[in-house]
Amino acid sequence: MKFLKRLVIALLVLFGLFYYVGLPYLRNQTKKYSPERTSTFTLKGAELAVHYSSPSKKGRDIFGDLVPFNQVWRTGANEPTTFTTSEAIKIIDKPLSAGTYSLWTIPNKDSWKVIFNKEVPNWGVTFFGNGTQTTRDASEDIVNVEVPSRKAMEPIEEFTIDFSKNEQLYLSLSWDDTIINIPISK
């Protein structure tokens, strides 16, 4: 009985060390290769921000290979990308209330599905899914839209999310040879 009690205590201590020391260390190490970035914009008083981790191309084929077509992608690296708005806005023609959302995409060759989800999980992929299974709960999706993709004039080394505005405001995602623009309005 004493042995079993000590074994349980030892396992709890090891789990605690892994959870509170090991995982934070591993997460910090991954950010060396995919640094955190934030882009902001003010649209008619609405404060918009997108926070993401930016992986690099490093000579790899990205879309259709590293990021498979027709599968949910965490849209960056590490934790899920988050999109925050201080006021209600529209994504294309769909309303999005004030709040913080996780941003997921389903890349395809000619168009991407873009998903805003109510939940923001701690990490973007499951521990045992070999990096291919996301932690997204589809039942918490708020907005789903589809936008066309276009080819970049030259390869883009680092995954980038930014706001661009001419007559229309866009949330622009670009990496490798692909660019998508998601219309935002108020």
Per-residue confidence (pLDDT) for residue 126, from 0 to 100: 47
Please report where in the chains the tokens 């640094």 appear, as a residue: 35
How many angstroms separate the Cα of 35 from the Cα of each of 78, 129, 149? 9, 22, 25
CA 95 to chain centre: 20
Structure tokens at 142: 């708020």
Closest CA to 50 of 10, 80, 91, 7: 80
Structure tokens at 93: 């023609």
**18 in helix, strand or coil?**
helix
Instruction: Kindly report the length of the chain.
Output: 186
CA dist 131 and 144 (Å) reads: 23
Percent helix, strand, coil in the chain (nearest 5)?
A: 20, 50, 30
Per-residue confidence (pLDDT) for residue 129, from 0 to 100: 47
How much is the pTM?
0.79
Q: Which helix (H) or strand (E) holds 91?
A: strand 89-91
Per-residue confidence (pLDDT) for residue 1, from 0 to 100: 77
Per-residue confidence (pLDDT) for residue 27, from 0 to 100: 53
Per-residue confidence (pLDDT) for residue 32, from 0 to 100: 55
**Dihedral, 50, 53, 56, 60 alpha carbons, nearest 10:** -100
Structure tokens at 137: 């709960």
Per-residue confidence (pLDDT) for residue 132, from 0 to 100: 55
Domain ranges of the chain: 1-33, 36-185
CA dist 21 and 156 (Å) reads: 35
Closest CA to 172 of 153, 159, 186, 154: 159
Per-residue confidence (pLDDT) for residue 111, from 0 to 100: 98
CA dist 68 and 106 (Å) reads: 9
- Blockwise average pLDDT, block size 10, the chain, 186 residues: 72 65 54 82 97 94 94 89 97 97 96 95 55 74 97 96 95 97 97
